[in-house]
Amino acid sequence: MMRRILSQAQVESESKMNCSKKTNQSNLHQRRLRAGSSGYMPGLDGLRALAVFAVIAYHLNLSWAPGGLLGVSLFFVLSGYLITNILLKQWEHSGAIDLKDFWLRRARRLLPALFLMLAGVMSWMMLGAPERLTALKQEALAAVFYTSNWYLIFHQVSYFESFGPPSPLGHLWSLAVEEQFYLFWPLLLGWGLHCFRQRKWLIGATTAVALTSAAAMALLYIPGHDPSRVYYGTDTRAFALLAGAVLAMVWPSSKMNPDLSGKKRLALDGVGSLGLLVVLLMIGKTSQYQTSLYQGGLLLFSVAGACLVAVLAHPASYLGRFFGWGPLRWLGGCSYGIYLWHYPVIILTSPVVNTEGFNLSRTLWQIALSIILAVLSRYLIEDPIRYGRRKPVRRRRPLAHGAKIMMGMVLMFLLVFVMPNEGRQTSAKAIAQSYETAEQTQTQAQAQNQELDKEDSAAKGKLTGTDQQSGLKGDDITVIGDSVMINVEPVFQERLPGIVIDAQLGRQMYQAPDAIARLREEGKLGKIVIIQLGTNGSFSEKQLQETLESLQGSAKILLVNTRVPKPWEGEVNETLRLAAQSYPKTRLIDWHSASSGHKDYFYADGVHLTQVGVEAYGEMMVEALLSD
């Protein structure tokens, strides 16, 4: 009997132990699920890789990714989501936001790689282009204090500087926008959490601010004008960051349930696939000069990006598993360094005057070099400062990490701001002005030669305003152009005396209708009109249409496309090509093709013409007129 009682008690005890063990295992499993749902999200690293390579494709001027600049907006949405997610976790656990800890973590994450890149670029410029150091130091200073975007806005470059060598630090504006967000958003979020007891009011207020930011972009943008103010402004780009912030408030990672039914999982991945489709289509079909981009397009892209982020962050998403693929995730982990290095590499290793077109081998090694530099930066500089050499769970020797950061800052300061550079004060403006001086000298010499040959020209009948080979009269022709046409004017005047050339420095297409109206009032608008514009910036189809409609009554209209080493070149030439095909009495003169492979046609800015280029351009134009 005693044995039976003991046996029964033993069974009951073992049963209780097994139940307790199962309960503990279940609790442990739930804790692990919760930890996994609120911790590292590998799919987001894959999205970082997509974003950074979209930006690289844009900076390489790859024709299949004209909207690659939208990769920056993906980074903004990601940053808004992840930072807000971190801050909300702090608030839920402690009832406060530790600003000091947050800002120090951001500094350890961002500053070492930035200082290394700046030091590398400044060293390269000191050896390879010392005349540009003075101008570059100002940009480096703005980068150190994360004000590059406002530096670009308030230091609007002149016409000549815009055709100087591009800055290898021009991409740092986006990091400035993000860092400004990191500085002010924790303060605003903490204030909002204190003031709004119910989360829905905070969500509503954040959404309202985001929509106000998008509205400011739409209102400040003027089609056909330089979009830099709305493109670089923190106020006009904040909506992308706030879209991610709203997502973190509505659906934080801690509320993402990994156990979803089949239908819910399919619906989740369906939303993510739709967001991914919108993202890829806009990267492949839009450009920075498209009016709709600033009038709601970027907001739409940010919403699609937020939907994609939500799905990739979810532990039950199949799409998240795809983006969490090892190599893609690794590239995403290096994306910050790749972003820092890719633009200087591209700018400093690409020819300013490139008349040969796309070079595949150069593109591949530029991408490879960017990745290599980013990897070296990550494993030799960033990770040791951020985690310690062995990434310990508990921080070790925080003073040592702080000393490394401070030493790096001191070295960067000495290199960038104290390094002597006497006798090297030449800026991009001075370089561009040297081109202008050369052009003026060239024009003056041509004018003198014309005066010497005046009597011979009269004897040959050229001063009657008629080209003797074709009977084409110069006073029947009017040319409306920019600085390129100023260079070519002597050739026209020699071949077609009496031709009216209205060329102005820095002129853009939106100014053409006013010039045409003035010429018509003055009786100087000929039967044949040549439009040579697009060197100084893009224009919309509507603006070109307004120009063409103002020329009603003209017998012929000739549109000249452009060769300019700027992102708008392809946009301008495509718009002109389509107009020439669809608008009556209009023909395209293809200077871009005629100058292909002729580096000798251009000065070092890749735009303004040497004597050889002037003669080739003028001859092309005269032949086009004679062939009609």
Torsion from C-alpha of 204, 209, 213, 214, nearest 10 degrees? 10
Specify the pairing of strand 477-481 against strand 528-532.
parallel
DSSP per-residue string spanning 417-462: IIS--TT----HHHHHHHHHHHHHHHHHHHHHHHHHTHHHHHHHTG
Cross-strand partners of 480: 502, 531
Q: Which one is catalytic: 171, 314, 342, 608?
A: 608
What is the number of helices (H) and of strands (E) in the chain?
28, 7
Backbone angles phi and psi of 607, in degrees to 5: -125, -55
> Cα 576 vs. chain centroid, distance in angstroms?
24
Longest distance between any two alpha carbons in the chain, whole Å: 142
Q: Look up 608 and say whether it is catalytic.
A: yes
Q: Which one is catalytic: 483, 538, 550, 595?
A: 483
Per the CB < 8 A criterion, the answer to whether 31 and 55 are in contact is no
Q: Look up 483 and say whether it is catalytic.
A: yes
C-alpha closest to that of 477 among 495, 504, 460: 495
Backbone angles phi and psi of 583, in degrees to 5: -95, 135
d(Cα 421, Cα 278) in Å, to the nearest integer?
49
At 350, list the tokens.
């690409």
CA distances (Å), 9 to each of 1, 17, 384, in order?
12, 12, 57
The 8-class DSSP code of residue 275 comes to H
Burial of 617 (0-12, 13-18, 19+ CB in 10 A): buried
Residue with structure tokens 């070149």? 569
d(Cα 72, Cα 363) in Å, to the nearest integer?
21
At 526, list the tokens.
């000929």
Let me know how long the chain is: 628
Burial of 18 (0-12, 13-18, 19+ CB in 10 A): exposed
Per the CB < 8 A criterion, the answer to whether 340 and 376 are in contact is no
d(Cα 492, Cα 502) in Å, to the nearest integer?
12
Q: What stretches of 481-610 show up as alpha helix (H) in DSSP? A: 483-495, 512-521, 541-549, 568-582, 591-594
Question: In which element (H, E) is residue 528 found?
Answer: strand 528-532
Give the catalytic positions in this structure: 483, 605, 608
